[in-house]
Every structure is written in structure tokens, then in C-alpha cells.
Amino acid sequence: MKIFIDTANLNEIRKAKALGLVDGVTTNPTLLAKEGETAETLIRKISKEVKGPVNVEVTGITCEEIVKEAKVLATWGDEIVIKIPINQEGLKAVRILATEGIQTNVTLLFSASQAILAAKAGATYICPFIGRLDDISFNGLELIQQIREIYDNYDEIETRIIVASVRNPIHVIEAARMGAEIVTIPPAILDQMAKHPLTDRGIAQFLEDAKKIGVKK
């Protein structure tokens, strides 16, 4: 399973990279707006830092606007993936960009029917938002299960699932059990994933005992 980091914060990206945990980056306008730099400057910096896909979202509404914008965004780095919200204009744009060899990520995806259409349009990736579904009392992980099952039924589907809107380590564990190719994880959740109270307690105990045998002062 690949791990993308769900942030536009360069320090967080560098921190996760040092742990070998950045196979790619996902951003969106909300994440970029927190950083106080223009989108272009920041995405160019992130792209230099990361070896792997850097996902940047379009803000165009019509197919024509989206395609035009995507072509500009694609020049901001070596491996830019264009995030496109799913609706009919977005799907048309995905199809055009796919034929031109520009990688796309169909985002704000909340149903299996949308996942079918995104794959048919030729999306490189899809981003089902599981946390936002949980927030409104739908089971986000169940959506991943459905999409996995559907995609596995058809050899011709090459679209990869990026599990997004991750809110806790259980989301990551369950997504991995279901065979999601990629999970995009906010930095705070990556921190939580590394922690366990029994690990902390065990380290403290071993250090204490190490002093008794002259290994540690």
C-alpha cells in the first residue's frame, strides 16, 4: 500500500519524508489556503521535495475551463496529478485529459456509481472521501469495500483508489485490509499510527532496568 500525505505544509511533508512515508502528496484549495503562499509557488516547492505524484485541484467549472487550467497546473512539477471534482463537466474533462496523457484524480467522490463513471472516463485515480461520509452517518469504509469489489470485477479498469478524508488510524488499517492501493493520510494521523501506550511504557521500563545493569546512567 502506498501512503500519500494529505497536506500542503512543507515542514510536515519533510518530516514524513524523513520517515520514508511519502509516496505522494494530496492537496486541495482548503489545505493550500492554510499555508499563506500562492498555490503555484507552494506546489512547485512541494514537487521539488517529493518523488511521486503531487495532486493539485482545479477550480474551473466547465469542461473547457477545467482542461485549460489542468494544462497549466500540469507544468508546475514533474508528476502533477490533476484533481477534478466529479460531475458531468468534470468527467468530460477527465476523458479529454486522459487522451492527452495528463493524469487525473476524480475527487469529492461519495458513491460507487460515481466511481464506476470515473473509471469509465479514464481517471488515473479516484478519491473517495470516507471521513466526510462518516460525518453524515454513512459508513465510509463500506464505500471502499464496494468500489474495490466493483473494480476487481473488471480487468480493464486501471483506476487506482486513493482513500481520502481519513480521520483515524482505524480508517487506514481497514482500507489496507480491503486492498486500497493508496491511502492519503493527514500528518496528525500518521503521528497517531506510530504511537502505542504499551510501547511508551515498555521503553520507560527498559530504560529504568538498563540503569540497574550499568548500560544506562
Crossing angle of helices 63-73 and 88-99, rounded to 10°: 50
Phi, psi of 77 (to 5 degrees): -170, 175
The reply to whether 48 belongs to the active site is no
Q: How far is the CB of 82 from ligand E4P (least distance, A)?
A: 12
Cα–Cα separations (whole angstroms), residue 70 to 7, 30, 65: 20, 18, 8
Q: How far apart are the first and last CA of the chain?
A: 41
Q: Which of 127, 143, 147, 190 binds ligand E4P (CB under 6 A)?
A: 127
Establish if 164 lies at the interface with ligand E4P (CB under 6 A): yes
Cα–Cα separations (whole angstroms), residue 17 to 14, 20, 77, 176, 180: 5, 5, 18, 20, 21
Q: Which of 7, 9, 28, 47 binds ligand E4P (CB under 6 A)?
A: 28
Which of the following is catalytic: 2, 15, 68, 83? 83
Establish if 159 lies at the interface with ligand E4P (CB under 6 A): no
Judge whether 28 and 57 are in contact, CB under 8 Å.
yes
Q: Which of 7, 9, 26, 159 binds ligand E4P (CB under 6 A)?
A: 26
Residue whose CB is less far from ligand E4P, 119 or 185: 185
Q: What residues line the site for ligand E4P (CB under 6 A)?
A: 6, 26, 28, 107, 127, 129, 131-132, 164-165, 184
